[in-house]
Amino acid sequence: MTDGDAPGRLDERAAAIIRAALGRILSSDGFRAAPQLSSFLSFIVERAVAGRASELKGYTIAVEALGRSADFNPQIDPIVRVEAGRLRRALAQYYATEGLADPVQLSMPVGGYAPVFVFSDAVGCLTRPLATADDKLEIPAVPAELEVEPDTAAADAAAARRWPVVALVALGVALVCLVGWYLWPTGASREGASRKLAVPELAGQVQPVVMRGPQLLRVAIAIPSPPADPKLADLLRRFSNLLVDAMARFDDIVTIKAPPPGSTGGEDVDYAFEMTVQAADSEVEGLGRLRSVRDGRIVWTASTGRSPVAELTEIELAERARRLATRLTEPFGIIPADARQVPPSPAARCILRAFDLRRTMLAEDDLAARACLEQLVEQDPGFYPAWAHLAVLELGENGVETDIRDKLKLDRSLTAALAAIRLAPSGARAYQAMMKVLLLRGSVEEAIQMGREALARNPYDPDIMADLGALFVRRGRVVEGLPLLERAISLSVGRPARYDFYAFLGLYLTGSVRAGDTYASTLVADQTPLSLLGRALLAAAEGDQQKRSAAVLELKERAPLFSADPHGYLLRKGFSEDVAVRLLNALGMAG
């Protein structure tokens, strides 16, 4: 099977079969719309076919495949780990759909970047990993994509010591046991049974699978009428690729399709964002419209305004694509807002309901979202968004009161978050959920690390920005948190009031109460516990004791745990001791 030129090098016949398989993958919908993933995959396959798999390190891939500069530092820039997770998931999706009958399956096991090729009997080849004889692919005991390259094993070991919980992911039983345990009826019998289970271990054997039942919002990014001018056509194509890449990061909300130029995307999508570009002299103007495929409505239109062609650098195009992707796709953006009116699928309705709970914080909404999510994981245990949202709901973090000292609830939330990460190593929402779980378990620094991992996977999601910013503010680290919150607020028009509460709180803690008036004004019309707390603090700062007392009284009615133990309530919400004491002193509730 190998020739004598290089150890591990395939013979010409096998190499030709693999390159043909690579070509089919690169021409598929998912990869055609993701140039960075295509470059990553092409690079590692060609190196492996040439017998040079041992050269596939993070630095080499970043510089030679992803275009990073020679001073790239994999310890600072996680791009290779993030893209590797996206690549693994994209390959799994391809082989579950378009590549179902391919005679060769390409994969990249966790723990390294060397590809593995599995040949069917039809091509007369053996199943073998393409790596040198000395290479050993190790499956790490941490969630996929938290691994680092072999030459940074010491750093990985240190990280593992800092977060021992994650090491439990490698242990456990099958996914069916996880679902069965998680959906076990509540009550004493389940509580008793939980003591016999090493609960976090239940997520260990969850295997990534591709969703075949639950369907998210399906969106086509289309260029129905490509410009006749080759330069304009190339400009629009490059922008489309950047937009697809940015929108695909919201993989718990939308599924992105990129039909060839000249196509509208067909009828198997819920929305089509159609683009064109017009030129006048040395300026161009981009036009876009969002169309509901189900009923033909024009949901939204946009224009970039005229810009000199010389100003449209790759950096400028990327920034415009990212802003547009966020406006369209973030949890409270244009597409989810329209889909909330008539959700196109049960799964989409369920996920949007879970996000809505972050705005309303009502017990009845919590019950509805929980029932919906549990039904989803029962029907399809591989649907990672449901696990991520269940992890948060179990904590009562959305305002529905839960005593987080209840070990069973803590265990269930951790198990759900671990399952989400195992199912979607590149899914930002999974790491966002883990951030919330670890914070309320008291592992603050580990929670911050998970928040940063989430933001690295989707740096365009205001909800992740706001959650990480809120974490910093609750811990008294306003300088780190306030910029994230301000950015999130600027990007999300339909945001939950909690974004504004934590931005106000950050300014309040720095003594800039007046500077927080804009954020405080948003809290006036909102009746959630955090908004009531913000109103009470503002009234106390202004010396209006009547308004302060009224806001505190209403807060006690809406949050009985605050009424019974204000200090404990704030600590359970993740506030540091110093911040909690300062807030209670301001409200005249110390002691």
Packing angle between helix 428-440 and helix 384-395, nearest 10 degrees?
20
Measured distance between the N- and C-terminal CA atoms of the chain, rounded to whole angstroms: 77
What pLDDT score was predicted for residue 17?
84
Q: Is residue 447 in some structural domain?
A: no
Fill in the amino acid letter for 240: S
pLDDT value for 553:
95
Q: How far apart are CA 435 and CA 400, in angstroms?
A: 19
User: Higher model confidence: residue 45 or residue 171?
Assistant: 45
Tell me which residue has tokens 């009116």. 341
Answer yes or no: is 363 within a domain.
Answer: no
Query: What is the band of 135 on the pLDDT scale with cuts at 50, 70, 90?
Result: very low
* Sheet with 116-119, side-by-side order of all strands: 104-107, 116-119, 128-129
> Whose CA is closest to 536, among 571, 573, 562?
562
Residue 586's pLDDT is what?
94
Segment 428-443 shows an average pLDDT of 92
Q: What is the pLDDT of residue 6?
A: 45
Report the pLDDT averaged over residues 457-484.
96
pLDDT for 153: 38
The pLDDT tens digits for 315-338 are 889 999 999 999 999 999 999 999
Domain edge (last residue) among 311, 339, 367: 339
pLDDT at 342 over 80: yes
One domain for residues 581 and 468: yes
Of 457, 350, 467, residue with least CA distance to 397: 467
Per-residue pLDDT at 536 exceeds 90: yes
Q: Which residues of 2-18 are buried (b: 16+ CB within 10 A; e: fewer)?
A: eeeeeebbbeeebbebb
Say if 416 falls within a structural domain.
Answer: no
Identify the domain boundary among 339, 372, 399: 339
Helix, strand, coil percent content, the chain, rounded in steps of 5: 55, 10, 35
Indicate whether 358 pLDDT > 60: yes
| Residue that wins the pLDDT comparison between 301 and 96 | 301
Does 142 fall in a domain? no
pLDDT confidence of residue 398: 53
- Cβ 35 vs Cβ 241: under 8 Å: yes
- Rounded CA-CA distance 48/164 in Å is 34
pLDDT of the residue at 136: 35
Rounded to the nearest angstrom, the gap between the alpha carbon of residue 91 and the centroid of all alpha carbons in its chain is: 18
Question: Do 128 and 29 fall into the same domain?
Answer: yes
Q: pLDDT tens, 367-400?
A: 899 999 999 988 888 899 999 999 999 887 554 4
183 inside domain:
no
Residue (of 13, 441, 362) closest to 199 by Cα position: 441
Is residue 266, in this structure, part of any structural domain at all? yes
> What is the band of 92 on the pLDDT scale with cuts at 50, 70, 90?
confident
Residue type, 214: P
Q: Say how many domains are in the chain.
A: 3
Q: What are residue 283's DSSP bridge partners?
A: 280, 308
Question: Do the domain assignments include residue 186?
Answer: no
Average confidence (pLDDT) over 290-307: 92
Q: How far is CA 540 from CA 10, 33, 467, 474, 525, in A?
A: 74, 54, 26, 19, 18
What is the rounded average pLDDT of the residues 262-280?
88
CATH for 529: 1.25.40.10
Report residue 73 CA to chain centroid gap: 23
Report the candidate in 565, 500, 571 with the shortest Cα–Cα distance to residue 534.
Answer: 500
The answer to whether residues 464 and 590 belong to one domain is yes
| Whether 113 and 231 share a structural domain | no
H-only helix segments in 256-362 = 314-329, 334-339, 346-360
Last residue of a domain, one of 113, 136, 159: 136
Check residue 19 and report its DSSP letter. Answer: H
Report if residue 517 sits inside a domain.
yes
- Residue 317 is part of which domain span? 217-339
Residues 6+ apart with CB under 8 A from 319: none
Strands 271-280 and 298-308: unpaired
Weakest-pLDDT range from 5-14, 324-333, 399-408? 399-408
Spatial separation of the C-alpha atoms in residues 139 and 252, rounded to whole Å: 26
- Distance between CA atoms of 455 and 458, rounded to whole angstroms? 5
Reduce the DSSP state of residue 437 to 3 states and report it: helix
Domain at 318, CATH number: 3.40.50.10070
Q: Tell me, yes or no, whether 587 and 470 share the same domain.
A: yes
- Given this model, what pLDDT does residue 76 score? 76
Q: Is residue 220 a contact partner of residue 264, using CB atoms and an 8 Å limit?
A: yes
What's the token pair of residue 576?
């540091």
Q: Which residues of 243-257 are buried (b: 16+ CB within 10 A; e: fewer)?
A: bbbbbbbbbbbbbbb
Q: What is the mean pLDDT of residues 22-51?
A: 85
CB 97 within 8 A of CB 24: no
What average pLDDT is seen over the chain?
A: 80
Position 591 scores a pLDDT of: 63
Secondary structure (DSSP) of 272-309: EEEEEEEEETTEEEEEEEEEETTT--EEEEEEEEEEEG
pLDDT band with cut points at 50, 70 and 90 for residue 179: low
Residues 589 and 468 in one domain: yes
Distances (CA, A) of 10 to 15, 19, 40, 112, 563: 6, 11, 20, 20, 71
Structure tokens at 528: 């959630």
> Which 3 state secondary structure label does DSSP give 430?
helix
The DSSP symbol for 105 reads E
Collapse the DSSP code of 128 into the 3-class scheme (helix H, G, I; strand E, B; otherwise coil) and give the result: strand
The mean per-residue pLDDT over the stretch 271-275 comes to: 96
Q: What percent of the chain has pLDDT over 90?
A: 42
Model pLDDT, residue 282: 82
Instruction: Measure Cα distances from 384 to 211, 378, 405, 418, 584 in Å.
Output: 9, 12, 26, 10, 39
Report pLDDT digits (tens) over 214-241: 889 999 999 999 999 998 999 999 999 8
